[in-house]
Amino acid sequence: MNENFDLQNYLIEGVERVVKEAIKATLKNPRESAFMLKFAKAAGAASKKRRAAEDNGEHIPPFLIASITSKCNLHCAGCYSRCNHATTDTEPVCQLTSEEWLRIFDEADELGISFILLAGGEPMIRRDIIEAAGKKQNILFPIFTNGTYIDEKYFTLLNKCRNLVPIMSIEGNREITDNRRGKGIYDKLIANMEEFKKRGLVFGASVTVTTQNYKQVTSDEFLNSLSERGCKAVIFVEYVPVTTESAELAPSDEQREYLMSQIQRLREQRPEMVYIAFPGDEKSSGGCVAAGRGFFHINSHGGAEPCPFSPYSDVNIRNSSLKAAMNSPLFKALQSGEILLDDHEGGCVLYEKRELVEAILANSAR
């Protein structure tokens, strides 16, 4: 790792790039562009808050991932969340309420967190929480959804609250998407996209990148199909193996390099959309940015975790402030150790080295 690497500058520059590209991508949509310009001002103020905290010895990440429900109506092949038993068919009674999530959103706003990614389960099951998020106009809420719950009420809400941006999961063409997510899902997603375009609403796409589709989902043919329907952001999520049998689906270093080179090409040649890779090129960011370095995860029961792929927690947000959760013994141990900087085979360093994470968690509990 470069000793002169400035993580806070890296994150601020990353946020500024995403916002700048989002403004460029929405120029032809006056209402959306107006919101993005207003959000750019709020994001700039948030960056100043985080920089001031950094100067006082406190690191605040710009991103938060919030899994607002454990319930999902789909059974996608290889779903890490179901394999971790974090996603179920029914809604457990002990999940955070909309009031508790709004308190978290308020604290995030005060700290200078600019982006909160809403996930699940299927987040659009929790309309009450998404309505609460819509009130926090200083924060952009990408909603990672399978698209099956988007209805007229949601179209109305999304039109009113431009800080809510659906990111619909699609795996490529109809065959690949339906094979992983279920028959008819691809057609539902395309119908949603057409409706978003007709109404002038912004949406994005989330693509799980595997050894089987990494070339197709970065092809001009696939991206044309999204762009023509009004998509404004594509988030490439590298597949994380959750079983020994699925390890062959995780992109190799060579395939990850291909993905990053294609993203660089797309940013230069296709500015009508924003392109983000997760976890992306960790070498350029001084290692993995989980565990509060760049983001952390709050699960539906309130547990503060390093990452959705690393479901370990030593603090619950019900009994803690957001600020205190960021400084939990587990997070501090991961930030000060070598795990986040280690090389790994692909996907997720914390998942690959989960036995070491479990050992740190056990020690912090003593």
Residues 316-355: tens digit of each pLDDT: 999 999 999 999 999 999 888 778 877 666 567 887 788 8
Residue the block writes with tokens 């270093």: 253
Query: Is residue 196 one of the residues assigned to a domain?
Result: yes
Which long-range contacts does 261-268 make (Cβ < 8 Å, 24+ apart)? 262/218, 263/218, 263/236, 266/218, 266/223, 266/234, 267/21
Query: Is the Cβ–Cβ distance between 114 and 46 less than 8 Å?
Result: yes
Per residue in 281-300, pLDDT tens? 555 556 788 888 889 999 99
> What local confidence, expressed as pLDDT, does residue 286 receive?
66
Under the banding of pLDDT at 50, 70 and 90, the label for residue 91 is: confident
Residue 177 token pair: 């998407």
Query: Is residue 2 one of the residues assigned to a domain?
Result: no
- Domain hosting 298: range is 7-364
Single out the residue of 190, 167, 50 nearest to residue 118, CA to CA: 167
> What local confidence, expressed as pLDDT, does residue 285 receive?
59
Split into its structural domains, the chain has a count of 1
> What local confidence, expressed as pLDDT, does residue 40 receive?
93
Query: Is residue 145 one of the residues assigned to a domain?
Result: yes
**Better-scored residue on pLDDT, 293 or 66:** 66
Residue 78 has pLDDT above 80, yes or no: no
Across residues 308-314, what is the average pLDDT?
Answer: 89
> What local confidence, expressed as pLDDT, does residue 277 receive?
85
Q: Which CATH number characterizes residue 359's domain?
A: 3.20.20.70
Q: Report the length, in residues, of the chain.
A: 366
Across residues 33-55, what is the average pLDDT?
Answer: 93
Question: Which helix (H) or strand (E) element contains residue 275?
Answer: strand 274-278
Query: Is residue 168 one of the residues assigned to a domain?
Result: yes
Per residue in 138-194, pLDDT tens? 999 999 999 999 999 999 999 999 999 999 999 999 999 999 999 999 999 999 999
Query: Is the Cβ–Cβ distance between 244 and 204 less than 8 Å?
Result: no
Single out the residue of 4, 10, 3, 6 nearest to residue 281, CA to CA: 10
> What local confidence, expressed as pLDDT, does residue 248 receive?
84
Q: CB within 8 A of 87, min separation 6: which ones? A: 70, 71, 72, 79, 81, 120, 121
